[in-house]
Amino acid sequence: MAFTDLPFDWSQRPVTDPAVFTDVVDLIVTVRDRYRGCLSVWLCSPTGRLTQPILVEAPDELPSNASDTVRWGSDAFAATQMRRALESLATVLSTHARPGSGLVVVIGRSGRADTTDADRHTHEIAIEVCRTHGIPLLGAAVATPERVWALPPAAGSPDWACSA
């Protein structure tokens, strides 16, 4: 799967459509972003269509007091930095977006092309933040230079992400 496989009408479909999800991830989270390390958060309309992708790059250096570090290959985020970024976006979304708008979270990283404990931890943070703010987490994925895959949905979420 690759962004070159996207159908011409992909932007009119919900990103939750398993037929396009991983290809859209491949399009938005570039290989450079994956090598660098990033957290990509997509704002989506109530119909699941992509409204705005937001990319947060891994910092060049972690704060000296960063005790809870999440490593993705050679890249690292302090878990508090990830939580803060997601909280900020969730606050803006819950305050200013149309009711029913949701988020997709994509972890861009180098390293192994399978799910790591750090990926699971980041996914758990996203689930918790979205639940706290009453925002649907429409899906989550991991993108490495070699592969893109969906993470399993949170309990109570639709099953679409499993088949992407």
Tell whether the torsion through CA atoms of 58, 62, 68 and 69 is positive or negative.
positive
DSSP 95: H
Distance of CA 44 to the CA centre of its chain: 12
The confidence score (pLDDT) of residue 80 equals: 74
Q: Which CB contacts under 8 angstroms, 24+ apart, belong to 92-95?
A: 93/43, 93/133, 93/135, 94/133, 94/134, 94/135
pLDDT for 98 equals 81
Q: Tell me the pTM.
A: 0.82
The per-residue b/e assignment along 88-113, b for 16 or more CB within 10 angstroms, e otherwise, is ebbeebeeebeeebbbbbbbbbbbee
Percentage of the chain lying above the pLDDT 70 cut: 80
For the chain, the domains span 19-57+68-152
Residue scoring higher pLDDT (156 or 148): 148
**pLDDT value for 108:** 92
Which CATH architecture is the domain 19-57+68-152 placed in?
A: 3-Layer(aba) Sandwich (3.40)
Query: What are the φ and ψ backbone dihedral angles of 62, each rounded to 5 degrees?
Result: -85, 150
What are 9-64's pLDDT values in tens digits? 998 999 989 999 999 999 999 999 999 888 999 999 999 999 999 998 876 654 45
pLDDT of residue 160: 42
| Per-residue pLDDT at 161 | 40
pLDDT in tens, 69-82: 555 444 456 667 77
pLDDT band per the 50, 70, 90 thresholds, residue 162: very low
